[in-house]
Amino acid sequence: MKRVFDLTVSIFALIFLSPLFLVVAVMILLTDGSPVLFRQERVGKDNKLFTVYKFRTMRNGVGDIATAELNNADDKITKTGKFLRLTSIDELPQLFNILNGTMSLVGPRPLIPAEKEIRELREKYGVYSVRPGITGYAQINGRDNIDDETKALLDKEYVERQSLLFDIEIIFKTFTKVLKRADIKDK
């Protein structure tokens, strides 16, 4: 049922949001050229790597480095990129990850392989038994303002409680958090 829900919502969202995708693509091209999409290896279901898609927010030539590890990260993010990150629009291409089966609408956010501490905690708690999500239980319960242990425990709780109704609740709470720009550190 979860997969059918994911596919149905993502197909309708892609159709409905296609004009926004076009506008964002043009904005990225005009401010910093191509490519429009950013691809990065992330950790997914069964602790396997997959390629995640996002709108590119950093300047060309920055490389595949976590924002937190960059010196003067603000200088590396384009003006368009700052807006996309602030509104979480940069995450929308992950709807394609849902179509190809590597992600879900709701689940633990996919990690960069180098995030070893939280990755080990997730392994310990059995979190990799589910697909990662565009949003998750940790995102509506502190997002950037909670430590790795708390995130991993919230991810574990999601795995234990997951249901269609719980997913719908998380989706609605995500919209509220995004609109209020709550729990977001400068990305």
Could you tell me if 130 and 104 are in contact, meaning their C-beta atoms sit under 8 angstroms apart? yes
Could you tell me if 159 and 132 are in contact, meaning their C-beta atoms sit under 8 angstroms apart? no
Nearest CA among 58, 61, 64, 60 for reference residue 78: 58
- Any idea where the domains of the chain sit in the sequence? 2-180
Residue position matching structure tokens 């004009």: 19
pLDDT tens for residues 40-90? 999 999 999 999 999 999 988 776 655 555 566 677 899 999 999 988 899
Task: Give pLDDT, residue 54.
Answer: 96
Length of the chain: 187
